[in-house]
Amino acid sequence: MTSAEVDAYLDSLSHQLKPVVVRLREAIMASDEGFSEHLKWKAPSFVYAGEDRVTFALHPANRIRIVLHRGVQRRADADGFRFEDPSGLVVWAAPDRGVVTFASVEAAADAEAALLELIGRWVRA
């Protein structure tokens, strides 16, 4: 089920890539019934198994970033954590925090299947 809070936020969102945000939000939520959502960092964020794991970052307005993380707090095993990204979509900010960036509707559409597969593996890692 989608969050009314996120629906209201997206209804009022003014962003160049709003169609990408809306499409990817729907696709992520539909990809696994274990997801729930809320707002974090003034953007949709997805919770899996009780922890924030995937969050949109919507500023600046000429791109969207999808942040892959392992919860609110840095985990004790962060330095030794490894995750393979055969898609090449992720830029790693730390061993346990990565960012996927899209600057166009076309780029997001072309990568959607790979992104959803990546997110599915990420939330189980």
> For 82-108, what is each residue's pLDDT tens digit?
899 999 999 999 889 999 999 999 999
What pLDDT score does 30 carry?
A: 96
Cβ neighbours around 75 below 10 Å, total: 13
Prior bond of 60 cis (ω within 30°): yes
Residue 5 half-sphere exposure, CB side, CA atoms within 13 Å? 10
Q: Which domain holds residue 103?
A: 4-124
What pLDDT score does 1 carry?
A: 46
Cβ neighbours around 16 below 10 Å, total: 15
What is the total count of domains within the chain?
Answer: 1
| pLDDT confidence bin for 76, thresholds 50/70/90 | confident
Could you tell me the pTM of the whole model? 0.93
For the segment 1-29, the average pLDDT, to the nearest whole number, is: 93
Specify the CATH number for the domain of residue 32. 3.30.1460
What pLDDT score does 74 carry?
A: 83
CA distances from 56 to 70, 77, 79, 81 (A): 14, 24, 24, 22
